[in-house]
A and B are shown apart, each in its own frame.
Chain A
Amino acid sequence: MRFRKPILLAGVILLLGSTPRLYAESGATINIQTFQFQPKQIEVQAGTTVTWVNQDDVRHTVTSGAPDNKDGRFDATLSGKGAKFSFTFSQPGTYTFFCDRHQHMRGEITVK
């Protein structure tokens, strides 16, 4: 009985820690670190502004679509450490993105 609360709390933490994450409408952040989008997948509410922050000391891009199918929604160059790019997702759907310089770097945003 005494252990019920900690177990419940651990369950909540585990749920929150699993990907994809659901963020509040106000904003979400995706870090670019060690040539990876972190997290790779997120879920947000329609109207959410997502900000990508480059933590690597090298040029990356945040390009919408896939390497063989750029959809033209956004294509931002984050020239170095600390560079940021934001985009507001107003319509529900699934949006993929990648780095055009390092095309193995990919991510996905689900807008509810």
Chain B
Amino acid sequence: METKKLTGAVALGFLLTTACAPMGSKAGAESDHMMMQSSGKAADLRTGLNTLFAEHVSLAASATGAALGGRDAEFKAAAGALDANSIAIAKAIGSVYGADAEAAFLPLWRKHIGFVVDYTVGLATKDKAKQAKAVNDLVGYTDDLGAFLSSANPNLPKATVAELVKGHILTLKDVIDAQAAKDYNKTYMLLRTATGHMHMIADPLADAIVKQFPDRYAGM
């Protein structure tokens, strides 16, 4: 059983760190379109980002839950959908800041998913050192994402972004801990908290983009 969990978690890591073609494109089509079909309205931007970030948490929790439960087929499907979501988030960034920014953002975003995988593997194998390193890497990562967004948009202070992303990391970690403990009531209550937290990233990001490009996103 433990071996199966580990295999699942390792395979999750492989799937997420392998540069793959967009997967689950049909399943993710709606949220992808939400950004791509944005008519330039601020409200569309905000809704699109909120949808993508909420989907990120939901799919990440599905993948980690399946990996910890040893449900290989389920977690492969969840991991594929999670990567399609990552690509859609990068495209959303690219739709604002261009193809080069999109190309730079995607590996950076995938990096934190890799650290979440490391943490999940650490839990599955009861490897405390691996868990601690993954948490440390994740906290360090918040600085990188803060710097990226702050560099792209001067309306986003690095420290503020880093703190909000740290909130995402910690609320998701709580979910994974509850999944590992098989406390399902707690898992789903915490999943609501983790999903809800993503508004605190999506909303300021949307506001900052609108402030940076008021002509492009007229009509709040």
Q: Which residues of A does B touch, CB under 8 Å?
A: 33-36, 38, 55-58, 102, 104-105
Contact = CB atoms under 8 A, between A and B. Distances in A.
Contacts of A35: 104-105, 108, 144, 147-148, 151
B147 A36 contact: no
Nearest to A80: B147
Interface in B122-157: 143-144, 146-148, 150-152
Interface residues of B, number: 17
B104 A105 contact: yes
A57 B144 contact: no
A23 to B, nearest CB: 20
A34 B144 contact: no
A58 B142 CA distance: 11
Contact of B101 (A34, A55, A57, A105): A34
A57 B147 contact: yes
B147 A56 contact: yes
B161 to A, nearest CB: 11
B110 to A, nearest CB: 9
A58 B144 contact: yes
A38 B104 CA distance: 12
B151 A56 contact: yes
A39 B105 CA distance: 17
Contacts of A34: 97, 100-101, 104, 148, 151-152
10 nearest A-B residue pairs (beta carbon): A58-B147, A104-B107, A35-B104, A34-B151, A36-B104, A56-B151, A57-B147, A34-B152, A56-B147, A57-B158
A58 to B, nearest CB: 3
Q: Which of B97, B105, B107, B151 has the most CB of A within 10 A?
A: B151
A58 B148 CA distance: 9
Contacts of B150: 57
Contacts of A33: 151
Contacts of B152: 34
A55 B147 CA distance: 10
A102 B147 CA distance: 13
Contacts of B101: 34, 36
A104 B143 contact: no
A36 B98 CA distance: 12
Contacts of B100: 34, 36, 38
Contacts of B104: 34-36, 104-105
Contacts of A56: 147-148, 151
Given A36-B103, A57-B151, 14 more contacts: A34-B97, A34-B101, A35-B104, A35-B105, A35-B108, A35-B151, A55-B151, A56-B147, A56-B148, A57-B147, A57-B150, A57-B158, A58-B148, A104-B108
